[in-house]
Copies of this chain bind each other. A is one copy, B any other.
Amino acid sequence: MIKQVRFAVLGLGRLGYIHAKKLALNNDVQLAHVADALEGRAEQVAGELHVAKWSADPSEVFNDPSIDAVIIATPTGTHAEMIKSAAKSGKHIFVEKPVTRTLEEADEVISIVQEHRVHCMVGFMRRFDPAFVDAKKRIQSGEIGKPLLFKGITRDNPIGKYPISPPVEFIKHSGGIFVDLAIHDYDMARFLMGSEVTSVSARGGIYLQPFIEEYQDADQANTYLQFASGAAGDIESSRNSPYGFDLRCEIIGTEGAIQIGAFRNHDLTLLTSKGNQDMIPIFPDRLLDFYSLEMAHFIACIKNNERPSCTEIDGKAALEIAIAATESYRTGREVKLNR
């Protein structure tokens, strides 16, 4: 007989809803509570997914001792507060990236999580893509020799191109392309290269989203990284992909190279008179399985009382690179990281 872990999901936007639905369908756990600040949203989702409790106010969750763990998918600005409340009430935490808005908040979060001895996992779902997992294993076992270059590409849909493209309001408050989008590649760079980033140069521009100018944001950017190991990184980030969601990665070493990144999630190609339909229009089509795999890891960590493989410390490290890239983009200067 196994006890089911009881979950609450805080924030029911695009990602929070995906997590809630997957937890509701998972017989291993119980989705006990959903919360969203938007009037009526929590009730609607609770109805659809047959969740017993719902609220607009997350403090109800924190005050409920029957909840074991929370999924934090609220706006980034609220993450620090949410994590702190959850830790203080003894709940395990899964938080979407970026872990917090600032490095100061990240430091606070790190110390409170450790003090209250809860598990905190950050949602870098690519770490659970079997291709990235396999790459990590092969690099560690020396199959490509010493890694010399990390190359990442993330191209997301432009606004309004597809039903699930990021809405204008989201982009405005996303923290910018480096903090919101490129951060996944920064995390992969650390994960795969096994070395910390020591300097960051970023370039970019505004092509299709003039309204982001007031946020000093970019919709297409390149980040050049230096690692402590001496290796380099070259990351392309875009919100303007005209053909769908495109996520690719290469690691070149002294003895070989690894490439990740077919468009297809599984191995099927549809050929019609319109062309070869092997692309993925929107990010959930590419990533949905990896959300399940990251959640399975989180659940297993709670059950077995083990530290997640990707914690608030990793969340802070990637955020640090993202903030440096934002600064470099705005000033045109290389930014050194203290490591």
Contacts and interface: CB of A to CB of B under 8 A. Distances in A.
Chain A interface residue number, banded: 35 or more
Nearest to A233: B222
Contacts of A243: 256-257, 271-273
Contacts of A201: 201, 203
A103 interface: no
A143 B277 CA distance: 11
Q: How many copies does the complex hold?
A: 4
Contacts of A263: 276
Interface string A199-225: 001011101100000000000101010
Contact of A232 (B144, B205, B252, B253): B205
Interface stretch (A61-69, A111-119, A147-155, A177-185): A147-155
A274 B130 CA distance: 23
A258 interface: yes
A263 B32 CA distance: 42
Nearest to A28: B28
A37 interface: no
Nearest to A27: B2
A39 interface: no
A261 interface: yes
A47 interface: no
12 contacts: A2-B27, A201-B201, A220-B232, A241-B257, A243-B257, A256-B273, A258-B269, A259-B271, A263-B276, A264-B267, A274-B275, A276-B279
